[in-house]
Amino acid sequence: MTLLILCDHDRGTLAEASLEALTFGRDLAQRAGLSCEAVLIGEDAESAAGPLAAHGAVQVHLASHVLLTDYGPEAWGETLTQLTRSTGATAVMACGTDRGNEVIAHVAARLDEPFVANCTNITPGDTWTMTRVQWGGSLLEDATLDAGHRLVTVAHHAVEATPTETPADGALVQFTPDLVAEAARTVVKDRVVLTQGITLATSPVVVGGGRGVGSEDGFAQLEDLAGALGGVVGCSRAVTNNGWRPHSDQVGQTGTRIAPDIYIAAGISGAIQHWVGAMAAKNILAVNTDGEANMVAKAGYAVIGDLHKVLPAITEEIVLRRG
Amino acid sequence: MRILVCVKRVPAPGSRINVTPDGHAVDTAHLGFTTSPHEECAVEEAVQIAEEHDGEVTVLTLGPPEAEEQLRYAASVGAHNLVLIPISEVDWDPQRTASALTTAIIDLESADGPFDLILFGNESADAGGFQVGIRVAYALGRPVVNGIKGIDVANGTASARREIDGGFEVYVVPVPAVMGIKEGINLPRYPTMKGRLASKKAEVHSAVVEAAAGGQARVRLHRPVEQVSETVILGNGPEAASAVVDLLEELGVLS
Ligand SMILES: Cc1cc2nc3c(=O)[nH]c(=O)nc-3n(C[C@H](O)[C@H](O)[C@H](O)COP(=O)(O)OP(=O)(O)OC[C@H]3O[C@@H](n4cnc5c(N)ncnc54)[C@H](O)[C@@H]3O)c2cc1C
Ligand SMILES: Nc1ncnc2c1ncn2[C@@H]1O[C@H](COP(=O)(O)O)[C@@H](O)[C@H]1O
């Protein structure tokens, strides 16, 4: 019996999280007595197949069809559903990315089976038991899954992608789904490139501002400090809700997850929904007038004081030392 | 243009989330409630599209009777019709929720005609199942795309933008369609005094629907293990600047 693992790729470039799903999946497959097989969907998917065998894929199913041009949630979902039926797979998995969760939800709807999203741990058995992520990572749920087909995704970063000691065969097997034109009504039609270079998600330094910044103009001091450190500005939801910064700057559960070397969080109280977006930072410096603020309690370092005085003083000191 | 938005009432925790002693739910004894942020934006988007296309917005929720509060909030920012599917449990699993919403939507459509657009959140703020909207769309036989941060409706098609690394994907979908909305698509308005007063008088229709439980069941909720760190206080006020820059040098972020 088979565990199918959908490997997310974008026009032939494999998503890093797909290898996490394979790493997680091959271990689960072994414990559940299933054959661990990868799935790639789309015209240019074959170029993403390279690392799959080394990460434990016994076979790689390559699904292609004239309608599978670019990514399309319905076409991918329908394809994976048909492959599940034709291979007799009893479990189907993907990584918990936007696409992974979306495609498995489509399979679940088509098979009328449950789907457990963003698991961090699974124990197989007649009934599977698992731990999954709720509240964007602030809370965990232990759950049980009873189904003919077990459909799950693996939370991003639940495991680290590692090759197996003894690479699997990874033989390519072609699959042609039976798709009608309707399946392609939600295929990507166009792409718009906006930014390139360092982003909030990848910047090594982030200077974040919260309600304590007080106004849109108040962010000039944060821009100055971020500029001096070669970093970018982030913010809390209180700030985006006030229209002081665009939502693309928001850090948190419904914003961006950051992982900088240092996060300077100024005038941010540290609500749990903000914290889950910031907790991957290697170091956190809180600047807050309130020494009792949650952000201060959770940060490794803090300065107690008015950010409008503290931040310019830091910028000035940096400029001074640089001469 | 008829637009439906499905919203969920969720607790609004502060610095940490506490769980009830039996582990079945978030302890809401000292908490307020809110609408999931993605869905708040979905309501705003629906109201904006309705304003532009002379449309009507219906908001539907499945939840405890108190979820009326979230429906009335939607009315205060411009929604026209409010529908509540009352349940007595804390939460329904995603399959069961989707099946009940589908039944209610079919009933609403057979009474007043089809919805051109049905908007969901990308994922609910609490359960985060990433599936209810997709299940409903499939049951209704309609196209659906998640993660939407921009919609333009014209001549029977909806053009939708979805964020990817450094840009957007564009989908062009025939209407009627279903979309999962992400926060950031717009800046939701605050209710006006007039809106707030009108929402108090708005009628909330109750749709009693039964649905069978799905195959995913909750055992318990718990908090992830937190690393507790001692906070090093570098100082008070601007005098701390020199200690901060020492730290930045030590961490190697000052190149
Ligand atoms: C489902 C859900 C999802 C959410 N998602 C997110 C999310 O993605 N991101 C997010 O950020 N929030 C999110 N929130 C909102 C979150 O709960 C908080 O409301 C928000 O993070 C608070 O922002 P804040 O810390 O800027 O404001 P506040 O909580 O008001 O804190 C302001 C802080 O500034 C300090 N301060 C004031 N003046 C000064 C000064 N002059 N100098 C220094 N310090 C000062 C105060 O002491 C205080 O600590 C979400 C909420 C819900 C319910
Ligand atoms: N109880 C509910 N009532 C109305 N809509 C809901 C409910 N639960 C989920 N939804 C909708 O479905 C979306 C996806 O939910 P989920 O699958 O739980 O992530 C949410 O953003 C809501 O728009």
Among partner residues B126, B131, B234, which is closest to A134 by beta-carbon distance? B126
- For residue A195, being part of any structural domain is answered with no
- For residue A177, being part of any structural domain is answered with yes
Q: Indicate yes or no: CB of A140 within 8 angstroms of CB of B214.
A: no
Asked if A261 and A135 sit in the same domain, the reply is: no
Q: Indicate yes or no: CB of B161 within 8 angstroms of CB of A192.
A: yes
Among partner residues A138, A243, A270, which is closest to B17 by beta-carbon distance? A138
Answer yes or no: pTM beyond 0.90. yes
Give pLDDT tens digits for B199-240: 999 999 999 999 999 999 999 999 998 877 899 999 999 999
String of DSSP letters for A233-297: EEE-HHHHHTTSS-GGGBBSTTSB----SEEEEES----HHHHHHHTT-SEEEEEES-TT-HHHH
Which residues of chain A carry a pLDDT beneath 50? none
Q: Does A136 reach chain B within 8 Å, measured CB to CB?
A: yes
Asked if A138 and A287 sit in the same domain, the reply is: no
Residues 14-53 of A with CB under 8 A from B: none
Looking at the domain covering B2-206, what would its CATH class be?
A: alpha beta
Of all residues in chain B, the one with the smallest CA distance to A192 is B168
Of B138, B135, B141, B134, the closest CA to residue B179 belongs to B134
Return the pLDDT at B227. 77
For chain A, the domain total comes to: 2
ipTM of the complex: 0.97
Model confidence at B165: pLDDT above 90: no
Chain B residues within an 8 Å CB radius of A205? 253
Give pLDDT tens digits for B123-162: 999 999 999 999 999 999 999 999 999 999 998 999 999 9
Asked if A16 and A162 sit in the same domain, the reply is: yes
Among partner residues A134, A192, A250, which is closest to B221 by beta-carbon distance? A134
Chain A residues within an 8 Å CB radius of B98? 109
- For residue A19, being part of any structural domain is answered with yes
Structure tokens at A205: 């330094």
Residue A74's domain comprises 2-184
* Strands B32-35, B9-12: pairing kind: antiparallel
Closest atom of ligand 1 to CA, residue A210: 26
Q: Indicate yes or no: CB of A129 within 8 angstroms of CB of B219.
A: yes
Return the pLDDT at B208. 96
The Cα–Cα gap between B227 and A157 comes to 17
Q: Does A13 reach chain B within 8 Å, measured CB to CB?
A: no
Candidate from A63-67, A71-75, B70-74, B166-170 with smallest mean pLDDT? B166-170
Of B76, B123, B79, B58, the closest CA to residue B97 belongs to B123
Tell me the three state secondary structure of residue A19: helix
Q: Indicate yes or no: CB of B248 within 8 angstroms of CB of A229.
A: yes
Residues with CB under 6 A from ligand 1: A 210-212, 236-239, 250-255, 267-269, 271, 273-274, 277, 287-290, 293, 306-308; B 12, 34, 36-37, 125
String of DSSP letters for chain B: -EEEEE--EEEE--S---B-TTSSSB--TT-EEEE-HHHHHHHHHHHHHHHHHT-EEEEEEEE-GGGHHHHHHHHHTT--EEEEEE-SSS---HHHHHHHHHHHHHHHHHHH---SEEEEESS-SSS--S-HHHHHHHHHT--EEEEEEEEEEETTEEEEEEEETTEEEEEEEESSEEEEE-TTSS-PPPPPHHHHHHHHH--EEE--------SEEEEEEEPPPPPP---EEEEEGGGGHHHHHHHHHHHT---
Closest atom of ligand 2 to CA, residue B63: 1
The Cα–Cα gap between B30 and B144 comes to 37
Residue type, A103: V
Asked if A17 and A155 sit in the same domain, the reply is: yes
Give pLDDT tens digits for A98-126: 999 999 999 999 999 999 999 999 999 99
Return the pLDDT at A142. 98
Asked if A225 and A173 sit in the same domain, the reply is: no
Give pLDDT tens digits for A248-291: 999 999 999 999 999 999 999 999 999 999 999 999 999 999 99
- For residue A199, being part of any structural domain is answered with no
CATH code, domain with A145: 3.40.50.620
Asked if A113 and A255 sit in the same domain, the reply is: no
Using CA atoms of A101, A73, A162, B227 in order, give the dihedral in degrees to the nearest 10.
-30
Mean pLDDT across B29-51: 97
Residue type, B101: L
Asked if A86 and A159 sit in the same domain, the reply is: yes
Q: Give chain B's mean pLDDT.
A: 96
Asked if A64 and A164 sit in the same domain, the reply is: yes
CATH code, domain with A221: 3.40.50.1220
Mean pLDDT across B188-194: 96
